[in-house]
Amino acid sequence: MGKALVMVAIVTGASSGFGYEVCKQLVEKGYKVYGISRRKHAPTGVTAISADVSDESSVRSIVDEIARTEGRIDLLIANAGMGISGPVELTPEEASKRIMDVNFFGQVYAAQAVLPYMRAQKSGTIVFVSSVGAPIALPYQAFYSASKSAVNSVALALRNEVREYGIHVTVVMPGDASTGFTDARIKHHDSGVKDNGAASLYPGCDSAVSSMEKDERNGILPERVAAIIVRVACKKNPAPLYVTGFKYRILLSLYNILPTRVAVWLVGKFYQR
């Protein structure tokens, strides 16, 4: 009898949150898992690799080495990401560029690196981990929403480009979840920035972000989101987009059917709690 085929998976952002839990669950399913993150940390049974996903040459070199070692790459979970908050006007250029480098280009670089191997074997699945903040522009998290919206656009275009090669591309958009992502968010708020020495320029920023963070801390556990990501990754023909959580599927459906003016106004009112 021939040796059973071992499926090979790469997970970015593997040291914590969704990525860590996805790695655990893929190992339990029998995958050979490689976890890439800035911190060389991953669950037992996972080969942990330290890298900055925004460094294209580093990502490509790692993927090439995995392919040489294993002979194939079956699954990419492009999950690495970061968060920033603050008004658009007061967000420094380096901060807005950094979040695009990590959240957008970091996922694109990983996909570009695995595609030659998936094309050659005429199979593979790429799962981009995005956010409900992609279709819904979040006030005071504009650049986070922009980075995730860009991920969605590239993923959906890529889905059609590589269909003929037997490669599946899909996006999972989590809602609020209780992970270390909340505490790691970098804030560029207007504390101390005054309008003519009188009032803060954006007095609603702190309360809006605090409200978001409260929702996140009370959100679903990362292992539940990871279970959805893994289930989607294992589908023979995954749909283009998935939203985690019934509440968020309803909210997104309402957002999409309302007139844009009304939908955007309601989002603003929601974060003025």
Any idea how long the chain is?
A: 273
Token duo for residue 47: 């080969």
Token duo for residue 142: 């504009």
Token duo for residue 115: 């595609």
- CB of 106 within 8 A of CB of 128? no
Angle between helices 142-162 and 106-121 (to 10 degrees): 10
Helices (H) and strands (E) in the chain, counts: 10, 11
Cα gap 109→53, rounded to integer Å:
7
Cα gap 123→115, rounded to integer Å:
10
Quote the strand ranges of the chain, DSSP E. 8-12, 32-37, 46-50, 75-78, 84-85, 124-129, 167-173, 186-187, 194-195, 199-200, 241-243
User: Which residues are the active-site residues?
Assistant: 15, 130, 144, 148
Residue 273: Cβ-neighbour burial (10 angstroms; 0-12, 13-18, 19+): exposed
Cα gap 103→90, rounded to integer Å:
20
Cα gap 264→184, rounded to integer Å:
27
Cα gap 154→127, rounded to integer Å:
12
